Amino acid sequence: MAWRGWSQRGWGCGQAWVAPVGGRGCEELTVALAPPRLFGRRFNFVIQQKCGFRKAPRKVEPRRSDTGTSGKAHKRSALIPPVEETAFYPSPYPIRTLIKPLFFTVGFTGCAFGSAAIWQYESLKSRVQNYFDGIKADWLDSIRPQKKGDFRKEINKWWNNLSDGQRTVTGIIAANVLVFCLWRVPSLKLTMTRYFTSNPASKVLCSPMLLSTFSHFSLIHMAANMYVLWSFSSSIVNLLGQEQFVAVYLSAGVISNFVSYVCKVATGRYGPSLGASGAIMTVLAAVCTKMPEGRLAIIFLPILTFTAGNALKAIIAMDTAGLILGWKVFDHAAHLGGALFGIWYVTYGHELIWKNREPLVKMWHEIRTNGPKKGGGSK
């Protein structure tokens, strides 16, 4: 590649003009400048300049949540949303990351069971009132002309034909469907990733532990979880009751996410998780522990049946192997956390927590019956 250069004397330091011979880019140019004599000697300066197309500056990519301590990116599961646009920041002190989630888990679980106890008290009071209101409503319906094709009446008929468990989980399923639809709104993608996926490397740690329990990115994932929840709803509500079941389900979602946090911090395999699998594993483990001889079947293979106890053992073994071998398809730590919580609760937790709710219910009864005492005088 040829270049031509000129030099002009008469200036203090000399100048040079260069012009390419041809229209192509340049790689390297050497120009000799001849300044005036200095101290009786002549100095030749050689200046080398690289020109041509500059390399584009490298973009500083944020730390991805799917990189571990080894720096090798693992394959992202198709069940979670892509998080290329979201930056995660693992703490330099990982153990401190678990302090706030720990307090949130304990506090939320206590509030969930306390609220469930008060809810049960209010439900018992309302049932008595609804009994008398129902008698009056039936008498009015008998003398009132009936409307044919009343849509509201058909909905009430369908609702009344559902079991208590199915009516209870209908609200949970509706919440999951709503969150699934929100994932399909492009403008909400970053917000959903921040608040509806749980990750110990995220800036928001506590609220996603609950919200991610109602969050699904894949339709197949949501459909499978909701089918299992619907199938076991009658058994778990008959076992625990409506109010206690809701407290156990919500607490299981938070507890399973905390176990996932602990495993991610311990292994350095940070990544987002979402889905109701942890809470549903609690439901499944509780039913299988109480009814180990019950017969279960796979939806695609109804001919193949097995006992509930054997099914629970197989699930725990598979999730244990996935956790040890580092499988990335599911959050096996959350599955194990939910299953162990379900086994513990029906074995010991029911006696320790739910049966000791009487002092709280009495205190609430006093507040509801007498109200806050007026006056500050002491007796």
Tokens of 262: 């602990």
pLDDT for residue 166: 86
CB contact at 8 A, 285 and 343: yes
Chunk the chain into consecutive blocks of 10 residues (it has 379) and report each block's average pLDDT, rounded to whole numbers. 45 44 43 44 42 49 41 54 59 79 95 94 81 60 56 76 86 95 92 91 91 92 92 90 94 95 89 91 93 79 80 91 85 93 94 90 87 53
What is the spatial distance between Cα 248 and Cα 232, in angstroms, rounded to a whole number? 14
Any bridge partners for residue 298, and if so which? 301
Pairing between β-strand 45-49 and β-strand 295-298 as defined by DSSP bridges? unpaired
The set of catalytic residues is 277, 335
* Residue 245, C-beta contacts closer than 8 angstroms, at least 6 positions apart: 165, 168, 236, 237
Q: Is 202 left (phi over 0), alpha (psi -120 to 50) or beta?
A: beta
Any bridge partners for residue 43, and if so which? none
pLDDT for residue 327: 81
pLDDT for residue 127: 78
pLDDT for residue 78: 65
One-letter-per-residue 3-state SS of the chain: CCEEEEEECCCCCCEEEEEECCCCCCCCEEEEECCCCECCECCCEEEEECCCCCCCCCCCCCCCCCECCCCCECCCCCCCCCCCCCCCCCCCCHHHHCHHHHHHHHHHHHHHHHHHHHHHHHHHHHHHHHHHHHHHHHHHHHHCCCCCCCHHHHHHHHHHHCCHHHHHHHHHHHHHHHHHHHHCCHHHHHHHHHHCCECCCCCCCCHHHHHHHHCCCCHHHHHHHHHHHHHHHHHHHHHHCHHHHHHHHHHHHHHHHHHHHHHHHHHCCCCCECCCHHHHHHHHHHHHHHCCCCEEEECCEEEEEEEHHHHHHHHHHHHHHHHHHCCCCCCHHHHHHHHHHHHHHHHHHHHHCHHHCHHHHHHHHHHHHHCCCCCCCCC
pLDDT for residue 45: 41
CA dihedral 242, 244, 250, 253 (to 10 degrees): -110
Integer CA distances (angstroms), 135 to 21, 128, 142, in order? 104, 11, 11
pLDDT for residue 139: 54
pLDDT for residue 284: 93
Statement: 94-136+176-370 belongs to CATH 1.20.1540.10: yes
Q: Give the residue extent of every domain in the chain.
A: 94-136+176-370
Any bridge partners for residue 211, and if so which? none
What is the spatial distance between Cα 290 and Cα 23, in angstroms, rounded to a whole number? 84
Integer CA distances (angstroms), 82 to 35, 85, 192, 206, 272, in order? 62, 8, 11, 21, 10
pLDDT for residue 370: 80
